[in-house]
């Protein structure tokens, strides 16, 4: 009788495929479970006001997570995104006081792109690991922010304040703020660029195997600089949202939020080793982290334990990613 037992290679491929599906959709199932649980245990979670608030809360961390996702897929890390955020917001306020709100907003975005490109140039020129390079640059940028503000909080002029805070205004779409719409638009653009363009495929190639990408004719350095520049623009837009909400900017803005953004990308399924991930995964990670914070508030739980939960999620996501790669090899 013929031996019908599957060969070891087929069994390994089937196992890897199951792990991949779990990798892709396990996080989605987790979010669904949390949404159902909060809907059943609270009376306010599914209200329009709370859902609009959730989206608004996710806007800043979502933009930073888009930046982190792109950079991590390219095989690098950017620990300077919140320092870039702070400098960009400060420049936006300072330019606004002299040249008006539109010029200030444009100057803030341009500053983010330039600082991001500087990050990329330092990484490819000095050839220091991006983790260390961007950590050092974040310290430099924070120092620059202190110099620009003289350690104080900067404000637009009183006559400019209302226009400067336009990103915080609700729109006609059920009270959704302009900041939320900006976040959704940028996320959609990043998604299309990464998933549907040649440049996106090059980002994956560089992150998956830098040497192979170089040998295939891809300009690895140019791709890295471009990715860091995009990261800087996303950080600047996040800075404009924060500055708009508060009507001011200061050197300490968003300190530590870069780690939450990286956590969102990793928890969503973007591999810390590069070459794998997607914008939608990072957004699911943002949603999960935002839901945890919202759930703690609605249930009246001590927010001290929120950090424990987030840390456990990060550790679990990284461990699972490592296990998945081991199954594939």
pTM of full prediction above 0.95: no
Half-sphere exposure of 191 (CA within 13 A, CB side): 14
Domains and CATH numbers, the chain: 45-322 (1.10.3470)
Q: Where does the pLDDT of residue 29 fall: very low under 50, low under 70, confident under 90, or very high at 90 and above?
A: confident
pLDDT digits (tens, 9 = 90+) for 152-196: 999 999 999 999 999 988 887 778 899 999 999 999 999 999 999
Residue corresponding to tokens 């996303």: 234
Distance CA 230, CA 238 (A): 12
DSSP state of 160: G
How far apart are alpha carbons 50 and 38 in whole angstroms?
A: 12
User: How far, in Å, CA of 141 to CA of 80, rounded?
Assistant: 8
CB of 111 closer than 8 Å to CB of 88:
yes
Q: What DSSP state is assigned to residue 142?
A: H
Instruction: Yes or no: say if 122 and 141 are a contact pair by the CB < 8 Å rule.
Output: no
Structure tokens at 45: 């979670």
Token readout for 1 is 């009788």
> What is each CA distance from 274 to 24, 61, 77, 321, in whole angstroms?
16, 21, 10, 11
- pLDDT at 144 exceeding the cut of 90: yes
Q: What does the mean pLDDT of the chain come to?
A: 88
Confidence of residue 101 (pLDDT cuts 50, 70, 90): very high
């Amino acid at each position: 009788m013929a031996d019908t037992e599957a060969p070891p290679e087929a069994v390994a491929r089937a196992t890897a495929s199951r792990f991949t599906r779990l990798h892709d959709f396990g996080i989605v199932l987790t979010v669904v479970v949390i949404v159902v649980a909060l809907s059943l245990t609270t009376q306010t979670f599914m209200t329009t006001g709370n859902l609009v608030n959730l989206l608004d809360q996710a806007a800043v961390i979502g933009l930073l997570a888009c930046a982190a996702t792109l950079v991590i897929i390219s095989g690098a890390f950017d620990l300077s995104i919140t320092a870039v955020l702070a400098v960009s917001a400060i420049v936006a306020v300072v330019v606004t006081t002299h040249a008006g709100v539109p010029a200030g907003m444009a100057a803030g975005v341009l500053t983010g792109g330039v600082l991001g490109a500087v990050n990329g140039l330092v990484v490819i020129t000095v050839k220091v690991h991006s983790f260390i390079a961007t950590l050092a640059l974040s310290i430099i940028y924070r120092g620059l922010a202190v110099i620009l503000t003289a350690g104080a909080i900067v404000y637009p002029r009183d006559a400019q304040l209302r226009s400067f805070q336009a990103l915080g205004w609700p729109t006609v779409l059920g009270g959704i703020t302009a900041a939320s719409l900006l976040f959704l638009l940028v996320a959609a653009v990043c998604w299309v660029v990464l998933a549907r363009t040649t440049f996106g495929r090059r980002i994956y190639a560089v992150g998956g195997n830098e040497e192979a990408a170089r040998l295939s004719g891809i300009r690895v350095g140019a791709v890295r600089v471009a990715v860091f520049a995009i990261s800087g623009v996303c950080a600047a837009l996040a800075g404009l949202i924060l500055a708009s909400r508060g009507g001011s900017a200061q050197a300490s803005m968003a300190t530590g939020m870069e780690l939450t953004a990286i956590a969102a990308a990793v928890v969503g399924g973007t591999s810390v080793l590069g070459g794998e991930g997607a914008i939608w995964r990072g957004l699911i990670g943002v949603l999960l982290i935002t839901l945890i914070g919202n759930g703690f508030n609605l249930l009246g739980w001590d927010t001290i334990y929120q950090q424990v939960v987030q840390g456990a999620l990060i550790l679990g996501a990284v461990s699972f990613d490592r296990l998945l790669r081991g199954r594939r090899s």
